C-alpha cells in the first residue's frame, strides 16, 4: 500500500467512514502488529498492544494529520503506546507463552513450506539479533531499516537530535550485523 492510498484511506476514516476504518485495520494490522511485536517480544502481548494502538487511533481519528504527516504520526502513537505498555508490564510478570522458535519448529507440510521455513528462519535470526540491541538502537533500526522511515522522521518520533539518530543508526547496524553473524555461527551456518 503506497503513501497516497494510505492518505486517502486516512481521509475517509477521519470523515467517519466505517468501511474505511475496517479497510484501514486490515491494511495496517500486519505492520502495527510487527511494530508491537518488536517492543513486546511476545505474540500475545503484541496482540493486546496492537489492539490498544488501534483503539487509540480510532478514538483520535478526528485529529489524524493529513498527507505525509500521517505515517510518522501513526508510528509515534504506536511507539508511545508501546512504551506505556512496557512500563505497565514491567511491574507484572511477563506472560508465559510458547516461544516463537518452538512454534517455528512445528512441521509444516503445505506446498512452499521449505521456502517459508527458510524465510521464517531468517526472520527469527533477525529478531533474535534485534532483541540483543539496546532499546534505543533497536527502535532506530526498526523504524529506519525495518519500516523504512527517514532519519528525520525517526528523530521526530523518538524526540532526539538528528545527528544522534545518524550516529546511532550506523552503530546500531554494526551491532546488529555482528549479532546476526554471531548467531549464524552459533546455528552452524557459514
Partner 1 sequence: MSRITCDQIRTAALDPATRAGDWARQPDAAAHVRRCVSCQDWLEAFTAGERAWASVPGDAFAAAVIARTAGVEAVLRDLPLLADMDPGPGFTDRVLRATSQKPAPEGWRARAAGAWRALVRRPRFAWEAAYVATVCWVLVFGNPVGAMEWSATNLGATARERLGPPARELRADLETWRGRLAPDAAERGASAGHQTEAEPAVVQVWEAAVQWLRTTTSTVLDAIARTWDAVAAWVDAPADAPRRSTEPPGEAARSPQ
Binding site for partner 1 (CB under 8 A): 18, 21-22, 25-26, 29-31, 33-34, 37-38, 43, 46-47, 50-51, 54-55, 58-59, 61-62, 92, 119, 122-123, 126-127, 130, 141-142, 145-148, 170-171, 173-174, 176-178, 180-182, 185, 190
Question: What Rg, from alpha-carbon coordinates, does the chain have?
Answer: 18
CB of 182 to partner 1, least distance (A): 8
- 16: number of Cβ within 10 Å: 10
Q: C-alpha distances in angstroms, 65 versus 8, 57, 72, 115?
A: 12, 11, 10, 40
Q: How far is the CB of 179 from partner 1 (least distance, A)?
A: 10
CB of 186 to partner 1, least distance (A): 12
- From the list 128, 23, 149, the residue with the least C-alpha distance to 78 is 149
Q: Smallest Cα–Cα separation from 131: which of 44, 45, 47, 42?
A: 42
Contact 140, 169 (CB under 8 A): yes
Q: Which residues neighbour 21 within 8 Å (Cβ) at sequence distance 6 or greater?
A: 13, 58, 61
What angle in degrees, to the nearest 10, is found between the helix axes of 70-89 and 43-59? 130
* Other residues' Cβ atoms within 10 Å of the Cβ of residue 38: 20
Minimum distance, C-beta of residue 62 to partner 1, in the bound complex (Å) = 6
CB closer to partner 1 out of 66 and 174? 174
Shortest Å, Cβ 29 to partner 1: 6
Q: Identify which of residues 68 and 178 has a Cβ nearer to partner 1 in the complex.
A: 178
Amino acid at each position: 500500500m503506497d503513501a497516497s492510498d494510505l492518505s486517502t484511506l486516512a481521509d475517509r476514516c477521519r470523515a467517519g467512514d466505517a468501511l474505511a476504518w475496517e479497510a484501514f485495520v486490515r491494511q495496517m494490522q500486519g505492520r502495527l502488529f510487527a511494530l508491537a511485536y518488536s517492543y513486546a517480544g511476545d505474540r500475545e502481548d503484541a496482540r493486546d498492544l496492537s489492539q490498544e494502538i488501534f483503539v487509540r487511533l480510532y478514538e483520535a481519528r478526528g485529529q489524524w494529520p493529513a498527507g505525509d504527516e500521517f505515517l510518522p504520526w501513526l508510528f509515534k502513537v504506536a511507539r508511545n503506546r508501546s512504551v506505556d505498555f512496557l512500563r505497565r508490564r514491567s511491574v507484572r510478570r511477563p506472560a508465559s507463552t510458547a516461544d516463537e522458535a518452538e512454534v517455528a519448529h512445528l512441521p509444516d507440510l503445505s506446498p512452499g513450506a521449505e521456502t517459508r521455513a527458510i524465510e521464517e528462519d531468517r526472520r527469527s535470526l533477525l529478531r533474535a539479533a534485534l532483541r540483543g540491541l539496546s532499546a534505543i538502537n533497536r527502535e532506530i533500526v526498526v523504524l529506519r531499516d525495518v519500516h523504512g522511515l527517514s532519519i528525520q522522521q525517526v528523530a521526530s518520533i523518538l524526540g532526539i537530535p538528528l545527528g544522534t539518530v545518524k550516529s546511532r543508526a550506523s552503530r546500531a547496524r554494526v551491532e546488529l550485523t555482528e549479532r546476526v553473524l554471531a548467531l549464524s555461527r552459533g546455528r552452524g551456518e557459514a
